[in-house]
C-alpha cells in the first residue's frame, strides 16, 4: 500500500504491506531535490518503483539498515544505472548481504520481508550531501541502531529523523536498542533550530522543539526511576511492573522481541540477563 503527500519541495511516500485489505506497520520514504531518503520495505518495492518511474533522482541515503528502510534499494539500483546509495559505514555490510547480516524474526519477515542486496558508499558524521538546491548535513545519531543517522538541511530547518524520533511515550523497546544512546542522539538534534521534522514513520512535525524536549524528559525520568529501583534491589520484572504498565499487544506479536522488559534491560545496560553493578550504570 502506498500513500503520497507533498510538503513544499518534499514528497513523502508512506509504505506498508497490505494484509486483509489494510496497510500494516507503515514506514516512510522521502524524495527531495533528486535525493531519496530511505526506500521502505521489500513488500512495497514495486509500488514505490512505479511511483518513481517518471521521476528524476540520482541518489539514496539510508538513515539506517533496518529492513523497513532499505527494502527497495536493490531493485532501484538495478533499474537505474549509476544510482548511488549512501549510508553509515556500519550499514554497508547489511546492505550488501541483508539475509546473511541481519537475520529477521518472524514478525519482521511477515511485515517487511527480506531486502535485495545493494551496494552502498559510506558517509561520515558532519559530511554534507549536496543536491541542486539543498545541502544536507549528515548527523550520526546511534541508539535506535548503531548505524543510525539523520539528515539536516540548515537553510530550510528540515530534519529527516529516520526512526530516532517518531513520537510517543515509550514503554517498550526492541532487543538491541540502546536507550541511553537514543537520549544522547535526541539531545543532539534538539539543539538544532528545526522547523520541520520528517520522521521515518508517523506524522510530520512543524516546530518540534517542545515534543523533542518532552521525549527526552520522559526517557530520562524513566531511566532515573529504573536505576533507583535497581539500586534498591528490585528485580527486572518488578521494575517492569512498577514503571511500564500492563502487557502490550506488540509483545505478543513480536514474541517478546519488542517489550517492556527490553526497555528496562537497556536502561540497566544488561549483559545477558544480569545487570551490571549499579555504580557503573552511568547515563550518557
Structural domains of the chain in order of their starting residue, each with its CATH number: 2-214 (3.60.15.10), 223-280 (no CATH)
In the chain, which ranges are E strands? 2-7, 10-19, 22-32, 35-37, 59-61, 84-87, 120-122, 128-130, 135-140, 149-153, 158-162, 173-174, 196-199, 205-206, 258-259
As a whole number of angstroms, the distance between CA 85 and CA 129 comes to 12
Q: For residue 16, what are the contacts with CB-CB under 8 A and spacing of at least 6?
A: 1, 23, 24, 25, 26, 27, 41, 44
Q: Are 35 and 9 in contact (CB under 8 A)?
A: no
**Bridge partner residues of 14 (DSSP):** 3, 28
Q: Hey, what's the torsion of the CAs at 56, 59, 64, 67, to 10 degrees?
A: 50
Nearest Cα residue to 73 out of 96, 105, 99: 96
Phi, psi values for residue 16, rounded to 5°: -160, 150
As a whole number of angstroms, the distance between CA 14 and CA 4 comes to 6
As a whole number of angstroms, the distance between CA 3 and CA 211 comes to 25
Residue 275 has a pLDDT of 44
Pairing relationship of beta strands 84-87 and 59-61 according to DSSP bridges: parallel
Rg (the chain; Cα; Å) = 19
Residue 277 has a pLDDT of 43
**Bridge partner residues of 24 (DSSP):** 17
Largest CA distance in the chain: 62
Give, in order, the Cα–Cα distances in Å from 102 to each of 61, 212, 230: 19, 30, 32
Residue 279 has a pLDDT of 37
Which tens digits make up the pLDDT trace of 184-212? 999 999 999 999 999 999 899 999 999 99
As a whole number of angstroms, the distance between CA 113 and CA 115 comes to 6
Helices (H), 153-282: 179-190, 209-231, 236-243, 249-253, 260-267
Pairing relationship of beta strands 135-140 and 128-130 according to DSSP bridges: antiparallel
**Residue 274 has what DSSP assignment?**
B
**How many Cβ atoms sit within 10 Å of the Cβ of residue 214?**
13
Residue 273 has a pLDDT of 41
Ranges in the chain, pLDDT < 70: 270-284
Amino acid at each position: 500500500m502506498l500513500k503520497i503527500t507533498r510538503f513544499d519541495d518534499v514528497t513523502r511516500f508512506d509504505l506498508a504491506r497490505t494484509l486483509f485489505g489494510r496497510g500494516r506497520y507503515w514506514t516512510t520514504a522521502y524524495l527531495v531535490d533528486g535525493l531519496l531518503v530511505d526506500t521502505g520495505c521489500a513488500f512495497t518495492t514495486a509500488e514505490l518503483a512505479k511511483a518513481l518511474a517518471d521521476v528524476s533522482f540520482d541518489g539514496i541515503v539510508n538513515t539506517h539498515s533496518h529492513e523497513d528502510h532499505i527494502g527497495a534499494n536493490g531493485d532501484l539500483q538495478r533499474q537505474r544505472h549509476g544510482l548511488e546509495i549512501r549510508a553509515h559505514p556500519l550499514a554497508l555490510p547489511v546492505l550488501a548481504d541483508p539475509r546473511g547480516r541481519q537475520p529477521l524474526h518472524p514478525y519482521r519477515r511477515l511485515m517487511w520481508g527480506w531486502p535485495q542486496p545493494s551496494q552502498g558508499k559510506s558517509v561520515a558524521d558532519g559530511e554534507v550531501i549536496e543536491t541542486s538546491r539543498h545541502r544536507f548535513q549528515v548527523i550520526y545519531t546511534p541508539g535506535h541502531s548503531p548505524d543510525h543517522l539523520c539528515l539536516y538541511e540548515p537553510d530550510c530547518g528540515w530534519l529527516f529523523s529516520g526512526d530516532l524520533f517518531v513520537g510517543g511515550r515509550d514503554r517498550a523497546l526492541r532487543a538491541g536498542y540502546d536507550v541511553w544512546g537514543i537520549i544522547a542522539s535526541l539531545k543532539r538534534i534538539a539543539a538544532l533550530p528545526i522547523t520541520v521534522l520528517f520522521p521515518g514513520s508517523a506524522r510530520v512535525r512543524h516546530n518540534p522543539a517542545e515534543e523533542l524536549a518532552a521525549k527526552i524528559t520522559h526517557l530520562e525520568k524513566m531511566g532515573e526511576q529504573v536505576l533507583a529501583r535497581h539500586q534498591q534491589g528490585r528485580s527486572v520484572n518488578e521494575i517492569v511492573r512498577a514503571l511500564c504498565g500492563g502487557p502490550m499487544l506488540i509483545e505478543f506479536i513480536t514474541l517478546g522481541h519488542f517489550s517492556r522488559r527490553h526497555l528496562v534491560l537497556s536502561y540497566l545496560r544488561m549483559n545477558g540477563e544480569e545487570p551490571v553493578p549499579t555504580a557503573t550504570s552511568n547515563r550518557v
